[in-house]
Chain A
Amino acid sequence: MRLIRLWPENSHFDFMRLRRYSFPLSALISVATAIVLMTVGLNFGIDFKGGTLMEIQAKSGQANVAQIRQTAESFGFGDVEVQEFGGTGEVSLRFPIQSGGEAAQTAVVQKARDTFGNDYDFRRVETVGPRVSGELVQSGTIGIVLSVIAVLFYLWFRFERELAVASIIGTLHDIVLTIGFFVITRHEFNMTSIAAILTIVGYSLNETVVVFDRTRELMRRYKAMPAEELLNLSINTTMSRTIMTATTTALSLLALVLFGGQAIQGFAQVMLYGVVICTYSAICISSPMLIYIGLRGSETVKVPEGRAAAAE
Chain B
Amino acid sequence: MLRFSRSKIIATVAIIVIGLLLAVPSMMNREQRQAFLNAVPSWVPSWLVPSRAIVLGLDLQGGSHVLLEVDAQDLLRGQVTILRDDVRRILRDTRVSSQNGIQTVQRGVQIRVPDAADRDRLLPRLRELSQPIGNAVIGQSGNNTIAINTSPDGVITLTYTDAGINERVRRAVDQSIEVVRRRIDFGGTTEPSIQRQGADRILVQVPGLQDPQQLKALLGETGNLEFRLLAQPGATDVDLLPMEDAGGQRVPVERRVIAEGGDLTDAQPAFDSQTRQPIVNFRFNIRGAQRFGQATTENLGRQLAIVLDNRVISAPTIQSPITGGSGQISGSFTVEQVNNLAVLLRSGALPAKLTIVEERTVGPGLGRDSIEAGKMATYVAAIFVVIFMFATYGVFGLIANIALLVHVGLIFGLMSVLEATLTLPGIAGIVLTIGTAVDSNVLIYERIREEVHAGRSIVSGIQAGFDRAFATIVDSNSTMAIAAVILFFLGSGPVRGFAVVFILGILTTVITAVTLTRMMIALWYQWMRPKALPF
Contacts and interface: CB of A to CB of B under 8 A. Distances in A.
B326 to A, nearest CB: 35
The A interface, classified by DSSP as helix, strand, loop or mixed, is helix
Nearest to A139: B490
A120 B237 CA distance: 51
Nearest to A126: B360
Contact of B361 (A122, A139, A146): A122
A4 B391 contact: yes
B377 A260 contact: yes
A154 B479 contact: yes
A241 B384 contact: no
Contacts, number: 235
A258 B376 CA distance: 10
B434 A252 contact: yes
Contact of A202 (B431, B480, B495): B480
Contacts of A217: 468
A268 B428 CA distance: 8
A202 B483 contact: yes
A256 B428 contact: yes
Contacts of A195: 425, 487, 491, 495, 498-499
A198 B357 CA distance: 26
A203 B435 CA distance: 12
Nearest to A260: B377
Interface string A200-211: 011101100110
Nearest to B447: A241
Interface in B150-202: none
B312 interface: no
B369 interface: yes
Interface string A218-258: 00000000000000000001101100110111111111101
Contact of B486 (A147, A237, A256, A263): A147
B443 to A, nearest CB: 6
Interface residues of A, number: 77
Interface stretch (B38-46, B135-143, B283-291, B469-477): B469-477
Contact of B365 (A121, A126, A202): A121
Nearest to B356: A106
B363 to A, nearest CB: 5
Given A255-B377, A256-B377, A198 B211 contact: no
B384 A259 contact: no
B381 A192 contact: no
A212 B146 CA distance: 62
Contacts of B378: 255
Contacts of A1: 394
What are the 10 A-B residue pairs with the smallest beta carbon separation, nearest first? A261-B373, A252-B435, A202-B483, A249-B435, A255-B381, A205-B479, A252-B381, A255-B380, A123-B366, A202-B480
Given A57-B365, A244-B442, 8 more contacts: A4-B392, A103-B355, A106-B359, A191-B491, A195-B498, A237-B450, A248-B384, A253-B431
Interface of B: 59, 67, 69, 210-211, 213, 216, 220, 355-363, 365-366, 369-370, 372-374, 376-378, 380-381, 384-385, 388-389, 391-394, 424-425, 427-428, 431-432, 434-436, 438-439, 442-443, 446, 450, 453, 468, 471-472, 475-484, 486-487, 490-491, 494-495, 498-499, 502, 535
